[in-house]
Amino acid sequence: MGDFLGYHCSVCKAEYPPTQVMYTCPLDGGNLDVVLDIKQLKQKYHVSDITSRKETSLWRYLPLLPVPLPPAEGTPLGAAGYTPVYQPLHLAEKLGMSRLWVKDESRNPTASFKDRASAVVVARAMQIGAKVIVTASTGNAGAALAGMAAAAGQKAVIFAPRSAPPAKVAQLLVYGAQVILVDGNYDQAFDLTIEASREFGWYCRNTGYNPFTAEGKKTAALEIWDQLRLADSTVTGRPLTVFVSVGDGNIISGIHKGFRDLEALGWLGQMPRLIGVQAEGSAAVANAFHAGSEIIQPVQAQTIADSISVDLPRDGVRAVRAASQTGGTYVTVKDAEILAAIADLGRVGIFAEPAGSTALAGLKKALAQGIVKPDDPVVVMNTGSGLKDVRAAMQAVREAPVIEPSMSALKKHLESVVP
Ligand SMILES: *Cc1c(COP(=O)(O)O)cnc(C)c1O
Ligand SMILES: [Zn+2]
């Protein structure tokens, strides 16, 4: 467990002690950063103390986390994170790139990036003796909390919009959470969850509200650093660029926090460039970034990528900074480009949900606009599994033909297909 000093408001810079239950800044609603005792950590650890650990989960980075290890061995809670980094050569070739990696978050226990946040929040809930954990979710955060809580024997309550994809709702129910579908959008479910957590004393995991979610999400940055050996490469030339899709902005903020922790420890050669990708129809953070502003104006979100369909991003300020402070940027993509990227990833054996393929769609746009060069080293985050939303997946591909079960029908079909 990393030495946890307290919280720091990202807006007014107020400091708060490591109080048990703390959400956003009481003064201005700003998102709170968890502050670790970097000086102490620097004295206690060397890079190799982290990179030589045996754990193949996010608990590998326990020394840099503000929670104690939960009793999770042999359970999905103990298995979150440490997802594979693929080098899809055929995709790189198609894009004309020489150094392309895809970090596949669909390989998490509940099949999305959200397991990282939920695992750390469940560990925190166990530490402080919380009886019930609640979250609002477009689906994945809820599935992750439901799954991680089930693994820990914790009670979870999930609020999701009734329009959530059926596979995600099925996951929530199968993991045994108390599921409440809200006849409204994610933003309305979010506000209701906060009211309910106050009223009933439930511990609230909401993204961009609970400071521990970003601590969980930062483990993806620690893994990129560990798996691509960013500590021992003497960096010359252009930095690593990371593409990630953005809804509430908590994943990109968490990844930024992970790299900032490493930088503060003196363990990072060069800060990677973070590029956030939003759907054109849900682009509140991208709008603020390109206006040179930290004021996030809500939109009326509309996109096929349900996991990043957000009217008012709850971690927008830090999400803007994740790009502005790393030499990154924001790009936006159309739903058709998101669907095309599902097919691109599928061709190299990676099955992404729309919000997962959005990052690759963003890379294609950034290449076309010269924002990244073909020989830049690039990591694309696939944040969620295609099995989460098969309706969208079917829109990314042509329908399969149906034939009579005979050789003549098969031959007729094969002749009719354009090679
Ligand atoms: C939640 C989610 C995102 C976006 O994360 P934010 O923290 O909301 O920006 C992207 N992709 C998937 C699959 C998600 O579930
Ligand atoms: Zn504040």
- When pLDDT is averaged across residues 311-337 and rounded to a whole number, the result is 98
Q: What's the rounded Cα separation, in Å, for the pair 80 and 106? A: 11
Q: Where are the alpha helices (DSSP H) in 38-104?
A: 38-44, 47-51, 89-95
Question: Which atom of ligand 1 lies nearest, measured to the CA of 208?
Answer: 7
What 3 state SS string does 287-327 have?
Answer: HHHHCCCCCCCCCCCCCCCHHHCCCCCCCHHHHHHHHHCCC
d(CA 336, CA 304): 9
Q: How many helices (H) and strands (E) does the chain have?
A: 16, 13
pLDDT at residue 233, as a whole number: 61
Q: How far does the centroid of ligand 1 lie from the alpha carbon of residue 206, in Å?
A: 13
Q: Read off the pLDDT band of 236 (50, 70, 90).
A: low
Strands (E), 346-417: 378-382
The secondary element (H helix, E strand) that includes residue 221 is: helix 219-227
**pLDDT of 286:** 98
Please give the sequence-ordered ranges of beta strands (E in DSSP) within 184-324, or none if there are none: 203-204, 241-245, 273-279
Cβ pair 218, 65 in contact under 8 A: no
Q: Domains plus CATH for the chain?
A: 83-108+214-395 (3.40.50.1100)
pLDDT level of residue 19 (50, 70, 90 thresholds): confident
**pLDDT attached to residue 20:** 81
Confidence tier at 238 by pLDDT (50, 70, 90): confident
Distance 96 CA to ligand 1 centre (A): 28
Could you count the other beta carbons within 10 Å of the beta carbon of residue 87? 11
Q: Which ligand is located closest to the Cα atom of residue 24? A: 2
Distance 319 CA to ligand 2 centre (A): 16
Ligand 1 pocket by Cβ (under 6 Å): 112-114, 140, 207, 245-251, 307-308, 353, 355-356, 383-384
Sign of CA pseudo-dihedral 162, 184, 276, 24: negative
Proximal ligand: closest to the CA of 285: 1
Close Cβ partners of 338 (under 8 Å, ≥ 6 residues apart): 279, 303, 304, 305, 354, 357, 358, 361
Average pLDDT over every residue of 155-176 = 94
Q: pTM, whole model, 2 decimals?
A: 0.97
pLDDT at 355 over 60: yes
Give the number of the atom of ligand 1 that is nearest the alpha carbon of residue 139.
15
258 Cα–ligand 2 center, Å: 21
Q: Judging by DSSP bridges, how do beta strands 85-86 and 100-104 pair with one another? A: antiparallel
Alpha-carbon separation of residue 407 from 50, 223, 399, 402, 412 (angstroms)? 59, 51, 21, 13, 8
Tell which atom from ligand 1 comes closest to the C-alpha of 250. 7
Q: Which atom belonging to ligand 1 lies closest to the Cα atom of 245?
A: 10
180-186 average pLDDT score: 94
pLDDT of res. 237: 73
The protein residue whose alpha carbon is closest to atom 2 in ligand 1 is 307
Confidence band, pLDDT 50/70/90 cuts, at residue 395: very high
Confidence of residue 208 (pLDDT cuts 50, 70, 90): very high
Q: Give the pLDDT score at 417.
A: 86
Cα(54)–Cα(57) distance, rounded to whole angstroms?
Answer: 9
Give the closest residue (by CA) to ligand 1 atom 13.
384
Distance from Cα 307 to the centre of ligand 1, integer Å: 5
pLDDT for residue 104 is more than 70: yes
Rounded-to-10 torsion of CA 358, 356, 197, 22: -80
Distance, in Å, from the CA atom of 385 to the CA atom of 106, rounded to the nearest integer, reads 4
Distance 118 CA to ligand 2 centre (A): 24
pLDDT for position 362:
99
The CA-based angle 93-395-417, given to 5 degrees, is 70
